[in-house]
Amino acid sequence: MNEFLTQFVIESRELVEQATEGLLVLEKSPNDAERLDSVFRAFHTLKGGAGIVDFAAMERIVHAAEEILSAARAGKRTLTTALVGDCLACLDQVVQWLDVIEQTGEFPSSAEKKKADETWLAEILERNPGTRARVATALQFIPDADCFYQGEDPLAQVTALPELLALDIQPVVAWPSLNSFDPYKCNLVLTALTAASMSEVTAHMHGHSGTCEIREINPAQTTPQDLALPSQARGVLNEQRALLSHATSANLAGFVTSAGLTAENVLRSCALPEAAAIVAQATEKSLSERSPEPLLESIAQLLLPKPAAVAETAKVSGRSEAAAQTLRIDARRVDALVRLTGELTVAKNAAGHVAKLAQEEGNALAGVLKDRQVVLERLIAELQELVLGMRVLPLRSVLQRFPRVVREMSVSLGKPLTLEIEGDDTEADKAIVEMLFEPLLHIVRNAVDHGIESPGQRAARGKPATARIRIRAARQADQVIIEISDDGGGIDVARVREVARTRGVATEEELRLTSETDVIDLVFAAGFSTAAKVTELSGRGVGLDAVRTAVERVGGRVSIESRSGDGATVRFSLPFSVMMTQVMTVEASGQMFGVPLDAIVETVSVPRTAIVGIGAAHAIVLRNRTVPVVDLAALLGLRAAMSGEADATIVVTSVAGHFGGLHVDRIGQRLEVILKPLDGLLTGMPGITGTTLLGDGRVLLVLDIGELLQ
Amino acid sequence: MTIKVSAAGNIELIGICSSDEGEVLLQHLLETPHMMVDWRGCESAHTAVIQVLMATRPRLLGPPAALLLEKWVQPALAATMDK
Q: Which residue type does A79 have? A: L
Q: Are residues A280 and A409 in the same domain?
A: no
pLDDT at A27 over 90: no
pLDDT confidence of A110, banded at 50, 70, 90? low
Q: Are residues A340 and A409 in the same domain?
A: no
d(CA A523, CA A340): 41
pLDDT confidence of A578, banded at 50, 70, 90? low
Contact across the interface for B29 and A178, Cβ inside 8 Å: yes
Per-residue pLDDT tens digits for A511-555: 888 888 888 888 887 777 654 444 444 444 456 777 887 787 777
Higher pLDDT: A578 or A434? It is A434
Contact across the interface for A148 and B19, Cβ inside 8 Å: yes
Q: Please provide the DSSP assignment of A379-394 as one string.
A: HHHHHHHHHHHHTEEE
Least confident of A98-107, A109-118, A657-666, B50-59: A109-118
What's the average model confidence in pLDDT over A495-502?
84
Instruction: Count the Cβ atoms, other than its own, within 10 Å of residue B59.
Output: 11
pLDDT at A677 over 80: no
- Note whether residue A410 is domain-resident: yes
Per-residue pLDDT tens digits for A268-300: 777 777 778 888 888 888 888 878 888 888 877
Q: Are residues A68 and A185 in the same domain?
A: no
CB–CB of A486/A452 below 8 Å? yes
User: Any chain A CB within 8 A of the CB of B16?
Assistant: no
pLDDT confidence of A219, banded at 50, 70, 90? low
Chain A residue numbers touching B66 (CB-CB < 8 A)? none
Contact across the interface for A186 and B22, Cβ inside 8 Å: no
Looking only at the bridges linking them, the beta strands covering A658-664 and A666-674 are unpaired
Q: Residue A469: its pLDDT value, please?
A: 92
- Note whether residue A359 is domain-resident: yes
Contact across the interface for B54 and A186, Cβ inside 8 Å: no
Q: Considering chain A, what percentage of its residues have pLDDT values greater than 90?
A: 5
Interface-testing mutation among A159, A182, A189, with chain B (most B C-beta atoms within 10 A)? A159
Contact across the interface for B47 and A156, Cβ inside 8 Å: yes
State the burial class of residue A323 (Cβ atoms within 10 Å of its Cβ: 0-12, 13-18, 19+): middle
Contact across the interface for A178 and B56, Cβ inside 8 Å: yes
- Note whether residue A285 is domain-resident: yes
Minimum distance, in Å, between the CA of residue B8 and any CA atom of chain A: 24
Q: Residue A681: its pLDDT value, please?
A: 74
Which of B44, B47, B55 has its CB closest to that of A178? B55
Bond into B63 cis (ω within 30): yes
- Note whether residue A322 is domain-resident: no
- Note whether residue A356 is domain-resident: yes
Q: Considering chain A, what percentage of its residues have pLDDT values greater than 70?
A: 88
pLDDT at A223 over 70: no
Q: Are residues A589 and A696 in the same domain?
A: yes
Minimum distance, in Å, between the CA of residue A404 and any CA atom of chain B: 54
Segment (H or E) for A675: none
Segment (H or E) for A222: helix A219-227
d(CA A637, CA A709): 14
Minimum distance, in Å, between the CA of residue B64 and any CA atom of chain A: 15
Which of A176, A183, A187 has its CB closest to that of B26? A183
pLDDT confidence of A43, banded at 50, 70, 90? very high
Contact across the interface for B73 and A183, Cβ inside 8 Å: no
Q: Residue A224: its pLDDT value, please?
A: 39
Report for A113-122, A447-456, A665-674: range of highest mean pLDDT = A447-456
Instruction: Name residues whose C-beta falls within 8 Å of residue A151's C-beta, 6 or more positions apart in sequence.
Output: none
What's the average model confidence in pLDDT over A670-697?
75
Q: Please provide the DSSP assignment of A451-481 as one string.
A: ISPPHHHHHHTT--SSEEEEEEEEEETTEEE
Of the candidates A31, A46, A126, the one whose C-alpha atom is nearest the C-alpha of residue A79 is: A31
Q: Residue A413: its pLDDT value, please?
A: 84
Q: Residue A539: its pLDDT value, please?
A: 42
Minimum distance, in Å, between the CA of residue B22 and any CA atom of chain A: 6
Per-residue pLDDT tens digits for A94-106: 888 888 888 887 8
Instruction: Name residues whose C-beta falls within 8 Å of residue A548's C-beta, 6 or more positions apart in sequence.
Output: A524, A558
- Note whether residue A545 is domain-resident: yes
Contact across the interface for B48 and A181, Cβ inside 8 Å: no
Closest alpha carbon within chain B to A190: B76
Chain B residue numbers touching A178 (CB-CB < 8 A)? 26, 29-30, 33, 55-56
Q: What is the ipTM of this complex?
A: 0.92
pLDDT at A112 over 80: no
- Note whether residue A317 is domain-resident: no
Of the candidates A304, A265, A288, A342, the one whose C-alpha atom is nearest the C-alpha of residue A577 is: A342
Q: Are residues A173 and A156 in the same domain?
A: yes
CA A600 to each of CA A539, A659, A706: distance values in angstroms, whole numbers, following the listed order: 36, 10, 11
Helix, strand, coil shares of chain A, percent, nearest 5, are 50, 20, 25
Minimum distance, in Å, between the CA of residue A396 and any CA atom of chain B: 55
Q: Which range marks the domain in which residue B53 is found? A: 3-82
To the nearest whole number, what is the mean pLDDT of chain A? Answer: 80
CB–CB of A544/A499 below 8 Å? no
Closest alpha carbon within chain A to B19: A148
Chain B residue numbers touching A155 (CB-CB < 8 A)? 46-47, 50, 73
What's the average model confidence in pLDDT over A499-503?
82
Least confident of A18-22, A203-207, A320-324, A562-566: A320-324
Q: Are residues A651 and A536 in the same domain?
A: no
Closest alpha carbon within chain B to A169: B76
| Tens digit of each residue's pLDDT, chain B (83 residues) | 578 888 778 888 888 888 888 888 888 888 887 888 988 888 888 999 999 988 888 888 878 888 888 888 888 888 876 55
- Note whether residue A323 is domain-resident: no
d(CA B53, CA B13): 11
CB–CB of A426/A387 below 8 Å? no
Total domains present in chain A? 6
User: Any chain A CB within 8 A of the CB of B42?
Assistant: no
Least confident of A421-430, A568-577, A683-692: A683-692
pLDDT at A222 over 70: no
Q: Are residues A232 and A258 in the same domain?
A: yes
Of the candidates A688, A632, A690, the one whose C-alpha atom is nearest the C-alpha of residue A660 is: A632
CB–CB of B30/B55 below 8 Å? no
Interface-testing mutation among A127, A128, A169, with chain B (most B C-beta atoms within 10 A)? A169
pLDDT confidence of A468, banded at 50, 70, 90? very high
User: Any chain A CB within 8 A of the CB of B54?
Assistant: yes
Closest alpha carbon within chain A to B53: A183
Q: Residue A258: its pLDDT value, please?
A: 83
Total domains present in chain B? 1
Q: What is the CATH number of the domain that holds B73?
A: 3.30.750
Q: Residue B81: its pLDDT value, please?
A: 64
Minimum distance, in Å, between the CA of residue A15 and any CA atom of chain B: 50
pLDDT at A634 over 80: yes
Q: Are residues A132 and A45 in the same domain?
A: no
Q: Which residue type does A230 have? A: P
User: Any chain A CB within 8 A of the CB of B80?
Assistant: yes
d(CA B5, CA B12): 6
pLDDT at A66 over 60: yes
User: Any chain A CB within 8 A of the CB of B43?
Assistant: no
Q: Which range marks the domain in which residue A527 is found? A: 405-575
Closest alpha carbon within chain B to A154: B47
3 state DSSP class of A710? coil
Chain B residue numbers touching A171 (CB-CB < 8 A)? 54-55, 80
CB–CB of A162/A194 below 8 Å? yes
d(CA B4, CA B10): 8
Q: Please provide the DSSP assignment of B34-61 as one string.
A: T--EEEEEEEEE-HHHHHHHHHH---EE
pLDDT confidence of A644, banded at 50, 70, 90? low
Minimum distance, in Å, between the CA of residue B71 and any CA atom of chain A: 9
Q: Are residues A551 and A424 in the same domain?
A: yes
Which of A153, A170, A179 has its CB closest to that of B47? A153
Of the candidates A407, A442, A644, the one whose C-alpha atom is nearest the C-alpha of residue A558 is: A442
Contact across the interface for A186 and B51, Cβ inside 8 Å: yes
pLDDT confidence of A116, banded at 50, 70, 90? low
Contact across the interface for A148 and B68, Cβ inside 8 Å: no
CB–CB of A610/A625 below 8 Å? no
What's the average model confidence in pLDDT over A470-497?
88
Interface-testing mutation among B72, B80, B81, B82, with chain A (most A C-beta atoms within 10 A)? B72
Contact across the interface for A183 and B23, Cβ inside 8 Å: yes
Least confident of A23-32, A414-423, A427-436, A538-547: A538-547
At which of A184, A201, A217 does a domain end?
A217
Q: How many CB pairs under 8 A join A and B?
A: 72
Higher pLDDT: A131 or A560? It is A560
Q: Are residues A465 and A360 in the same domain?
A: no
Which of B25, B33, B51 has its CB closest to that of A188? B51
Chain A residue numbers touching B22 (CB-CB < 8 A)? 148, 183-184
CA angle (B8 as vertex; B5, B14 as ends), nearest 5? 45
Q: Residue A643: its pLDDT value, please?
A: 61
CB–CB of A469/A486 below 8 Å? yes
Instruction: Name residues whose C-beta falls within 8 Å of residue A410's C-beta, 6 or more positions apart in sequence.
Output: A416, A417, A448
Higher pLDDT: A331 or A639? It is A331
Which of B26, B47, B52 has its CB closest to that of A155? B47
Contact across the interface for B76 and A184, Cβ inside 8 Å: no
